[in-house]
Structure 1
Amino acid sequence: MAKRLVRWLIAVGGILFLTATPSLAGPPFVSDDPEPTETGHFEIYSFVNGTNTRAGTSGETGVDFNYGAARDLQLTATMPAGYTDAASGGTRFGPSNVELAAKYRFLHQDGFGFEVAVFPRLFLPSGSGVTGDDHASLLLPIWVQKDFGKQWSAFGGGGCTLNEVRTASFCQAGVVANYQILPKLQIGGELFHATADSQGTPAATSVGVGWRYDVSDNYHLLGYVRRGLENASETGRYSWYASILFTF
């Protein structure tokens, strides 16, 4: 599994850097970027997302807080509520998995040629018995970014999720190419893959399109849609994400 994931990362990474010719990244995409929130500033996302499978539709809504705590260091806390709408009937709501994370950028483009950061993310047990996982898990990823002039940027990477007994649950990887199409409008395309997890969920591959519109210096609208390509009926026929971003 590990060798297959490495080969996949090398292949899609090569495609990305050959086809992509500064921009903001991370949300609305599944893949993240290595750029932390500016020191002393906040980025707050009010979001909703969802994924449809043959079992029904599920997703989350909540608030994602990001603070630039120091140079190259971002602290993150995500407070979500989850929902499920089963195909067999019945909708359920409840607290989902609170996320705590810290992004640290340790390499810069002006010195290394790429920006590189680690972004470990801890998922706390939901405790609701309705939505979210009832156990803790930890995502350990590394993210890389390269800007090409004033309009194009490319970022991606991935990592593995560990559950509370420290065994690998699954690994994920993704790549994104972004283009500043207008002064206030940015669009991008993403290729994302997750391996099968330890509880029987099959591997998943998807392709998505995301956009960001800057209403002002402090208010921004983000959206994203993606389509499942592998085992879509079980892992996601289609997914979406929408948020209002407040920056100050």
Structure 2
Amino acid sequence: MSMLVLAAGIGPAVAGPPYQSDDPEPTDFGHFEIYSFDKGAFGRSGSSSASGLDFNYGAAPDLQLTAVVPFGYDAPSDGPSAFGPGNVELAAKYKLIHQDTLGLDVSVFPRVFLPSPSQTGDPYASILVPIWLQKDWGSTSAFGGGGCQFSLHDAAKNFCLYGATVTRQVFNDLQLGVEVFHQTSDGNGAPPSTTLGIGARYDLDDHYHLLGYVARGLENVSQTGSWAWYASVLFTY
């Protein structure tokens, strides 16, 4: 389960995916962003992965509505494998502060995780309440922030996460970035984890985009996973 937690984080200048940190920029009003993704983690204790769809819709100016539907696969080294629906996520991102007025973009992005009917997810609901910030300098952007996830079943399983990412548009169709991400213990026997990751986004055209990310564990890697990855095709319209 600890490696699945690491993989779960792995959601231009939009950012957010492929990074574990999010950015404060909501989907444009009246437009869609749909990610078809695969993500996972592996290490000495086994591997876990999840594939699915991440739907985002600009429901109003400064307001994005999100739904994520994942299917997970968990293969621990000391037990049987499992496959099934993960925790469906419902979220709303609202931009509170605009960079052109106060120097920073700031958004809240509360997220509800519904109970999973399979062993690949959490059988209980939880809520993540983060704040995300961003500052741009031409073709370079820095974004990050964090928040805490609260279990609606067991307060001992609450944990917090923090991340910081810097991206640069190196060509008109290619963006590269680097990220540091940290998660505290989740109360399931998993210790804190810290990862260092690199990501890329390649724009095939205005509607189709390729995203990739790989991260190396830096802390407690034998329990939380040595490596994590994320790959997706993004459709925008």
Give TM class, smaller chain: over 0.9
Give the aligned residue type for 2:152.
E
The within-5 A match list for 1:70-81 is 70-81=60-71
Which consecutive aligned stretches of 4+ in structure 1 deviate over 4 angstroms post-superposition?
none
- Secondary structure of 1:230's counterpart equals coil
The within-5 A match list for 1:80-91 is 80-88=70-78, 90-91=80-81
Deviations 1:177-199 (A, max 9, x none): 00101110000000001111223
Using the TM superposition, name which of 191-200 and 232-241 deviates more: 191-200
TM-score normalised according to structure 1 size: 0.88
Percent identity, aligned pairs only, is 58
The within-5 A match list for 1:1-248 is 23-88=13-78, 90-128=80-118, 130-149=119-138, 151-165=139-153, 167=155, 169-248=158-237
Aligned residues: 225
Give the aligned residue type for 1:95.
P
Could you tell me how far apart the structure 2 residues matched to 1:23 and 1:134 are? 36
- Secondary structure of 1:197's counterpart equals coil
Could you tell me how far apart the structure 1 residues matched to 2:31 and 2:114 are? 25
Using the TM superposition, name which of 155-164 and 196-205 deviates more: 196-205
Give the aligned residue type for 1:157.
G
Give the aligned residue type for 1:245.
L
Uncovered stretches (5+) of structure 1, i.e. residues with no partner: 1-21
The Cα of 1:85 is off from its aligned counterpart by 1.9
TM-score normalised according to structure 2 size: 0.92
Using the TM superposition, name which of 152-161 and 82-91 deviates more: 82-91
Q: Which residue in the other structure is 1:4 paired with?
A: none
- Secondary structure of 2:37's counterpart equals strand
Could you tell me how far apart the structure 2 residues matched to 1:141 and 1:238 are? 24
Deviations 1:53-112 (A, max 9, x none): 322100100000000000000000000000012224653210100000000001000111
Deviations 1:161-219 (A, max 9, x none): 00014736110000000010111000000000111122321011110000000001000
Could you tell me how far apart the structure 2 residues matched to 1:197 and 1:132 are? 14
RMSD of aligned alpha carbons: 1.3
Q: Is the 8 A contact 2:124 2:153 kept in 1?
A: no
- Secondary structure of 2:223's counterpart equals helix
Could you tell me how far apart the structure 2 residues matched to 1:201 and 1:166 are? 15
Give the aligned residue type for 1:185.
L
Could you tell me how far apart the structure 1 residues matched to 2:19 and 2:116 are? 23
Give the aligned residue type for 1:59.
S
Give the aligned residue type for 2:151.
N
Cα gap change, 1:68/1:136 in structure 2, threshold over 3 Å: closer, same or farther? same
Give the aligned residue type for 2:231.
A
